[in-house]
């Protein structure tokens, strides 16, 4: 984005301060905008240059193995190769599935049997209140009042027996993202992730955009904190990234169909198409804002943007929020954030975030985490 000349800024500021339309409150808000810096960290690349080269080589190897069978990588599968941790990709052979299934009754065990009675559980009002109180009953990024309490990994993913059973089919993918030790958090029964460590407080509009895959939250780490009385808490640092949206290149009549099926689009690695596909998306990741294909640009149409209430500064890629909780819960939240980050990046990169086929959960009781939960559902396909 081009820099605005200082002279132009000074001229606009002088005009703003002398016009009769400018109220004292406007000047005070401008002063806050200029003097209060929001919590922010530099955005980090998804992959190092060396790692990108290794992932491209891996994709070419898979393609070479598939071409004799008239199969090619599609956008979703290629996104998996650019999203999952490299060590896990080298170990994965297809999509492993768990041999155990969740049941609606039974004792809690480390093997993943359900702990609830009945086929469906409902959201815990107690856990919701713990989350809201921890976040000072305000959006953790915009600092606006009356936020929604949102699950990081969607409540619908294991809110009933059928969905919990489906989640077992992606056990290999989950293990690849978070490791074997933390994987158990998802497989302790129906409703097992309905905990405050899997919740954050967000402005209603941000919550909706989050579910549409317009942004994702990256956990940059957990910082242990001693309270002076021998108790250990942890600060979880979440960083916001606006995600570029794939544009369907098709005529007017075919555009909706093209968008719906974008994630199925074949991507050839041997022609250089795959590298160009990756570069186009990754270079847009750090622009700081997101504008969907139908936004009308910067002069009209619908805009996807948000501001931090106390200062009116734009909420840009790199904005951070720090949440304090007991240390064990902090590491649990990091696990949920890592899962959410992987599947939303995967959804946005492949174009699946805009496909109705990936928005099928209808029992989230107010959550709008469809893109995240549905992406893991889709990850179990060949």
Q: What is the pLDDT of residues 292-343, one digit of tens each?
A: 444 434 444 567 889 999 999 999 999 999 999 999 999 999 999 999 999 8
Shared domain for 19 and 111, answered yes or no, is no
Shared domain for 360 and 273, answered yes or no, is yes
- pLDDT, tens digit, 9 for 90 and up, residues 219-256: 999 999 987 777 789 999 999 999 988 876 545 445 55
Q: Is residue 52 part of a domain?
A: yes
Task: Report the C-alpha gap between 15 and 301 in whole angstroms.
Answer: 28
Span 198-205, average pLDDT: 97
Lowest mean pLDDT among 41-45, 103-107, 292-296: 103-107
Shared domain for 33 and 52, answered yes or no, is no
Q: Is residue 183 part of a domain?
A: yes
| For the chain, percent of residues with pLDDT exceeding 90 | 48
What is the sign of the dihedral through the CA atoms of 207, 209, 212 and 218?
negative
Q: Which residue has the higher pLDDT, 100 or 280?
A: 280
Shared domain for 284 and 303, answered yes or no, is yes
Predicted pLDDT of residue 368: 41
Q: Is residue 135 part of a domain?
A: yes
Give 253's DSSP letter: H
- Residue 261: CB atoms within 10 A of its CB come to 17
Tokens standing for residue 304: 């996807």
Q: Is residue 85 part of a domain?
A: yes
- pLDDT, tens digit, 9 for 90 and up, residues 81-104: 998 888 878 776 544 333 344 444
Q: Which residue has the higher pLDDT, 364 or 133?
A: 133
Shared domain for 165 and 200, answered yes or no, is yes
Shared domain for 105 and 20, answered yes or no, is no
Q: What is the extent of the structural domain holding 61?
A: 40-378
- Residue 124: CB atoms within 10 A of its CB come to 16
Shared domain for 13 and 54, answered yes or no, is no
Shared domain for 366 and 287, answered yes or no, is yes
Shared domain for 218 and 350, answered yes or no, is yes
Shared domain for 30 and 91, answered yes or no, is no
Predicted pLDDT of residue 238: 98
With 70 as the cut, is the pLDDT of residue 380 above it? no
- Mean residue pLDDT across the chain: 80
With 60 as the cut, is the pLDDT of residue 109 above it? no
Task: Report the C-alpha gap between 42 and 286 in whole angstroms.
Answer: 9
Shared domain for 23 and 132, answered yes or no, is no
How many structural domains comprise the chain?
A: 2
The full length of the chain comes to 382
Q: Is residue 1 part of a domain?
A: no
Predicted pLDDT of residue 74: 93
Shared domain for 160 and 144, answered yes or no, is yes
Estimate to the nearest angstrom the gap between the alpha carbon of 145 and the chain centroid.
22
Q: Is residue 2 part of a domain?
A: no
């Amino acid at each position: 984005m081009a820099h605005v000349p200082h002279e132009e800024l000074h001229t606009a500021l002088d005009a703003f301060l002398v016009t009769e339309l400018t109220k004292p409150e406007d000047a005070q808000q401008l002063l806050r905008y200029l003097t209060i810096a929001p919590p922010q960290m530099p955005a980090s690349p998804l992959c190092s240059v060396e790692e990108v080269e290794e992932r491209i080589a891996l994709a070419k190897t898979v393609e070479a193995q598939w071409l004799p069978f008239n199969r090619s990588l599609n956008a979703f599968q290629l996104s998996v190769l650019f999203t999952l941790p490299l060590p896990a990709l080298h170990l994965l052979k297809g999509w492993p599935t768990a041999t155990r299934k969740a049941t609606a009754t039974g004792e809690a065990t480390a093997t993943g049997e359900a702990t609830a009675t009945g086929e469906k559980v409902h959201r815990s009002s107690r856990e919701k209140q713990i989350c809201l109180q921890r976040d000072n009953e305000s959006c953790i990024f915009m600092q606006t009042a009356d936020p929604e309490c949102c699950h990081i990994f969607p409540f619908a993913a294991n809110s009933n027996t059928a969905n919990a059973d489906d989640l077992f089919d992606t056990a290999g993918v989950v293990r690849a993202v978070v490791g074997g030790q933390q994987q158990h958090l998802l497989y302790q029964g129906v409703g097992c992730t309905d905990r405050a460590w899997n919740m954050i407080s967000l402005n209603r509009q941000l919550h909706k955009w989050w579910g549409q895959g317009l942004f994702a939250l990256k956990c940059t780490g957990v910082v242990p904190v001693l309270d002076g009385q021998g108790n250990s808490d942890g600060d979880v640092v979440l960083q916001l990234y606006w995600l570029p949206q794939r544009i369907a290149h098709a005529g007017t009549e075919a555009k909706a169909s093209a968008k719906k099926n974008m994630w199925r689009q074949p991507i050839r690695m041997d022609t250089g198409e795959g590298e160009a596909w990756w570069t186009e998306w990754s270079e847009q990741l750090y622009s700081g804002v997101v504008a969907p294909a139908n936004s009308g640009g910067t002069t009209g149409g619908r805009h996807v943007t948000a501001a931090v209430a106390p200062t009116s500064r734009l909420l840009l890629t790199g904005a951070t929020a720090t949440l304090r909780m007991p240390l064990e819960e902090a590491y649990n939240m990091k696990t949920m954030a890592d899962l959410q980050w992987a599947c939303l990046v995967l959804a946005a990169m492949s174009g699946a975030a805009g496909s109705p086929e990936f928005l099928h959960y209808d029992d989230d009781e107010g959550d709008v985490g469809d893109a995240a939960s549905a992406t893991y559902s889709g990850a179990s396909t060949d």
